[in-house]
Amino acid sequence: MTADGRELESLSEDEARVELARLHELLSAADRAYFEKDAPEITDAAYDAMKRSYQALESAFPELKRPDSLSDKVAGAPVEGFAKVRHAVPMLSLAKAYTDQDVLDFIDRGRRFFERDKDLDLVFTAEPKIDGLSASLRYEKGVFVQGATRGDGAVGEDITENLRTIADIPHKLAGSGWPEMIEIRGEVYMTYAEFQALKARSAAAGGQDYVNPRNTAAGSLRQKDASVTASRNLKFFAYAWGAASAEPAATQFDAVQKFGEWGFRISPLMVRARSADDLIAQYKLIEAQRASLGYDIDGVVYKLDSLELQRRWGFVTGEPRWAIAHKFPAEQATTTVKRIDIQVGRTGTLAPVARLAPVSVGGVVVENVTLHNEDYIKGIDSTGAPIRGDEPIDVRVGDTVVIQRAGDVIPQIVRVVLEKRPADAVPYDFPHTCPVCGSPATREHNEKTGKEDSRRRCTGEMICPAQAVERLRHFVSRGAMDIEGLGAENIELFFSAGLLRNAADIFTLRDRRPEVQQALFERREAQAREREAAKGISRKKVLTAEERTYEGLDKLFAAIDAQREPELDRFIFALGIPHIGETTGAALARTFGTVEEWVRAGKETAAAEDPKSVFPSVDGIGGTVIEAMVDFFGNPRNDDVLDALLVQVRPKPYVVTVSADSQVAGKTVVFTGSLEKMTRGEAKAMAERLGAKVAGSVSAKTDIVVAGPGAGSKLKDAEKHGVLVLDEDAWLELVAK
Ligand code: IVH
């Protein structure tokens, strides 16, 4: 099935290509978030479902399989900074089973494969699937010489020094009988106890929060400073091997027992089994112990025991045929809703969060769960259809709810236990004002769909502290005011130190130099303390006056001063008024010419009974933008900030300029597919500003096609005419030159 619920067979080849491209993007982004940033963005279940659709598409349309197919590679490319290690024997992933039937099918496949050997007794091992990171440890003459991460399966990172700090990894093998050379493979993980202790230490030092043990173990292993890894007390289970000068044993089971004799920790829960029933019985046994193990496991791995038969059964791309991971279903638990809080998001969105009586789900304590939006609380989706059962069932304070940690990361409410609803529980009254700044919070009417937006947004804009930081970040960003050196970190710091409340304050920072310096100094101190707390040492040293000076400050103030006379279109765009992007900003600047005229028109529009009658007809500006102007200028507090800003900043009158020396001047460009970093309109305005001509279709005269995901026939035309095709990033790189 595709995202819009259609059967694969009904897709045309073009549609399949688009769907495959879409899934490729999503899966790649999920891989990057999970493996490189150690911060998963989607649930394992969602990931697995997408991966299955991706593979199904590939088998239904083999000619569409891409050379960079994700099916052929094991995710988790090496990150920069550590030396690369090519694995002599690749580190594979495992096929997955979700149901008992999947396990029966696996065994059946084995039986069929070995059909001719009538008397063959197929024996399997069953052992926990540890939720950590795999590592490969090379021993030469019994001495640990190199350790690597899995990376993308073919190439990993050399993290020898970090692995050496793990007590479960012997520097020298014990016992005897080990091969001259062997790569022992297994899982590095963090126990719950260690995870909780680290969280507590970090909270005390004002440091970062940690999401879950797995990602924390991953982060701990990638430390540049091995003493930080050492302080995390990671653990290791040995369960497999890679290259070896001699086979460690004749069976999987015996090989792992040998690892135990050589000084490794091995899972006490590994057994041999002869039938699907026995394997499933062991699965249930391990599942029953899951919560008391003290570390995360996410399933049970079955492997064919005989190494001889493993060799015969062989591999499919990236996975052994002779092994399978039987995953546990998402864990559920029952708890109660104590409170519903509203958090104000970056764009002013009011995000409801249910505060729960703490409950352990799979060993991790869950106390909060997102309620998404007003409709979700009512139990309906954006079309008004019920989302929990046949009838719309709302979530109330006092309710008993079943929660689930899908993919072990993001908890969600799956069910409300109506029988336990207290008699005095009332439907939740979603606020119509922003809990942070008190401005009205409204649901926008989406002109295109004709529906109300599911999110309620604070209209406080520039005066709402919750939105302020994000708006400030937008204000200084490239394309807007472009103030170098005032990055997100500094904005957050100055905001929390009370030095920045709104955009006007940026231009008076210079007058408050000592306070700015103090804030930067305190951050540096806090970071140093955090690093030391992580290493378990304390420090008495006080920074000298010299160390307190912050040499970047003059540069920062100079960068701010350099933008006191911005172009009008950038200035309007920088204000971050909803629906006023670069293109609209430019259209408004073109129309009104000066900031005074624009502000006058804005105020007049806001005051008018029929705003549309006042507003001149401007190409590309419709009702949504006019409404946004009315909201903005209709809020006197926005006026105050704008007035203060205009004391500091003098936007230049708008003059049409075309940059003739850009890389794309004089070229004809076509945009196709979806763009992620800018709207079509913005892309067009940017290209035109740089002297390019933007066309709607591809011909022999086209110079460049910029293709985003979902690009269709225009991409084909480009190939036909031999036109240069760039993705969005490559385009942005080109125009930045
Ligand atoms: S065996 C050739 N055994 O699961 C098979 N893997 O999805 C190699 N894992 O990368 C893997 N516990 O990180 C195996 N008992 C276990 C495991 C296990 C956890 C992880 C490992 C591997 C991934 C495969």
Atom of ligand 1 nearest to the CA of 267: 15
Sheet containing 364-370: give its strands across.
364-370, 350-361, 331-344, 400-406, 410-416
Mean pLDDT of 76-104: 85
Fill in the DSSP letter of residue 72: G
Least confident among 179-183, 565-569, 573-577: 573-577
| Residue nearest ligand 1's atom 12 by CA | 129
CB-ligand 1 contact for 149 (6 Å cutoff): no
Which of 31, 91, 237, 301, when mutated, tests ligand 1's pocket best, judged by the most ligand atoms within 8 Å of its CB?
Answer: 301
Q: What is the CA radius of gyration of the chain?
A: 30
Least confident among 74-78, 121-125, 239-243: 74-78
Q: Which two tokens stand for residue 271?
A: 């057994």
Rounded to 5°, angle at Cα 337 from 442 and 369 = 65
> What burial class does residue 720 get, using C-beta atoms within 10 Å of its C-beta: 0-12 exposed, 13-18 middle, 19+ buried?
exposed
Residues 529, 499: contact at Cβ < 8 Å?
A: no
Task: Tell me what the pLDDT averaged over the chain comes to.
Answer: 85
Task: Report how far residue 74's alpha carbon sits from residue 317's, in angstroms, rounded to the nearest whole number.
Answer: 10
CB-ligand 1 contact for 230 (6 Å cutoff): no
More confident residue, 276 or 622: 276
Task: Report how far residue 612's alpha carbon sits from residue 595's, in angstroms, rounded to the nearest whole number.
Answer: 20
Q: How would residue 408 be classed by pLDDT, with cut points 50, 70 and 90?
A: very low
CB-ligand 1 contact for 301 (6 Å cutoff): yes
| Residue nearest ligand 1's atom 17 by CA | 129
Is the pLDDT at 73 greater than 70? The verdict is no
Backbone angles phi and psi of 730, in degrees to 5 = -65, -35
Is the pLDDT at 244 greater than 50? The verdict is yes
Which of 31, 87, 133, 134, when mutated, tests ligand 1's pocket best, judged by the most ligand atoms within 8 Å of its CB?
Answer: 134
pLDDT confidence of residue 591: 80
pLDDT confidence of residue 353: 94
Atom of ligand 1 nearest to the CA of 128: 15
Cα 56 to Cα 52, 71, 501, distances in angstroms = 6, 11, 52
More confident residue, 376 or 655: 376
| Residue nearest ligand 1's atom 8 by CA | 92
Question: Which amino acid is residue 388, in one-letter code?
Answer: R
Task: Report how far residue 133's alpha carbon sits from residue 159's, in angstroms, rounded to the nearest whole number.
Answer: 12
712-732: per-residue pLDDT in tens? 888 888 888 888 989 888 888
Atom of ligand 1 nearest to the CA of 132: 13
Question: Which amino acid is residue 626, in one-letter code?
Answer: I
Top-ranked range on mean pLDDT: pick from 32-46, 677-691, 693-707: 693-707
Distance 123 CA to ligand 1 centre (A): 19
Q: Which two tokens stand for residue 252?
A: 């999987």
Q: How would residue 3 be classed by pLDDT, with cut points 50, 70 and 90?
A: very low
Fill in the DSSP letter of residue 71: G
291-328: per-residue pLDDT in tens? 788 898 999 999 999 999 999 999 987 899 999 999 98
CB-ligand 1 contact for 239 (6 Å cutoff): yes
Is the pLDDT at 4 greater than 50? The verdict is no
Task: Tell me which residue of 262, 239, 124, 134 sits closest to 189, measured CA to CA.
Answer: 134
pLDDT confidence of residue 96: 93
354-397: per-residue pLDDT in tens? 999 988 886 678 899 989 889 999 998 877 888 877 889 999 99
Q: How would residue 487 be classed by pLDDT, with cut points 50, 70 and 90?
A: confident
Domains of the chain with CATH codes = 1-72 (1.10.287.610), 84-327 (3.30.470.30), 332-454 (2.40.50.140), 463-561 (1.10.150.20), 568-648 (1.10.150.20), 668-735 (3.40.50.10190)
CB-ligand 1 contact for 97 (6 Å cutoff): no
| Residue nearest ligand 1's atom 1 by CA | 240
Least confident among 395-404, 426-435, 624-633: 624-633
Fill in the DSSP letter of residue 386: B
Fill in the DSSP letter of residue 138: E
Distance of CA 165 to the CA centre of its chain: 30
Rounded to 5°, angle at Cα 395 from 393 and 399 = 110
CB-ligand 1 contact for 310 (6 Å cutoff): no
- Relative to beta strand 143-149, strand 133-140 is antiparallel
Burial 237-269 (b: 16+ CB within 10 A, else e): bbbbbbebeeebeebbbebbebbeebbbebbee
Atom of ligand 1 nearest to the CA of 270: 15
Which residue among 37, 51, 118, 129 is the active-site one?
129
Q: Which two tokens stand for residue 706?
A: 């910029």
Express as a percent the part of the chain with pLDDT over 90. Answer: 43
Question: Which amino acid is residue 657, in one-letter code?
Answer: T
Beta bridge partners of 361: 364
Atom of ligand 1 nearest to the CA of 94: 7
Which of 31, 93, 190, when mutated, tests ligand 1's pocket best, judged by the most ligand atoms within 8 Å of its CB?
Answer: 93
pLDDT confidence of residue 407: 45
272-291: per-residue pLDDT in tens? 999 999 999 999 999 989 87
SS3 category, 195 = helix
pLDDT confidence of residue 37: 62
* Annotation marks residue 540 as catalytic: no
Mean pLDDT of 32-47: 67
CB-ligand 1 contact for 687 (6 Å cutoff): no
CB-ligand 1 contact for 214 (6 Å cutoff): no
| Residue nearest ligand 1's atom 15 by CA | 129
Residue with tokens 């009011």: 350
Is the pLDDT at 20 greater than 70? The verdict is yes
Express as a percent the part of the chain with pLDDT over 70. Answer: 88
Residues 615, 605: contact at Cβ < 8 Å?
A: yes
Is the pLDDT at 538 greater than 90? The verdict is no
Cα 572 to Cα 15, 230, 349, 483, distances in angstroms = 40, 51, 22, 15
CB-ligand 1 contact for 75 (6 Å cutoff): no
132-173: per-residue pLDDT in tens? 999 999 999 999 999 999 998 999 999 999 999 999 999 999
| Residue nearest ligand 1's atom 18 by CA | 129
Distance 74 CA to ligand 1 centre (A): 12
585-620: per-residue pLDDT in tens? 888 888 888 999 999 989 988 888 887 777 766 656
SS3 category, 374 = helix
Atom of ligand 1 nearest to the CA of 127: 15
Residues 24, 66: contact at Cβ < 8 Å?
A: yes
Distance 240 CA to ligand 1 centre (A): 8
CB-ligand 1 contact for 130 (6 Å cutoff): yes
Distance 133 CA to ligand 1 centre (A): 9
Residues 420, 411: contact at Cβ < 8 Å?
A: no
What's the length of the chain?
737
Is the pLDDT at 80 greater than 80? The verdict is no
CB-ligand 1 contact for 323 (6 Å cutoff): yes
Mean pLDDT of 14-26: 81
Distance 93 CA to ligand 1 centre (A): 7
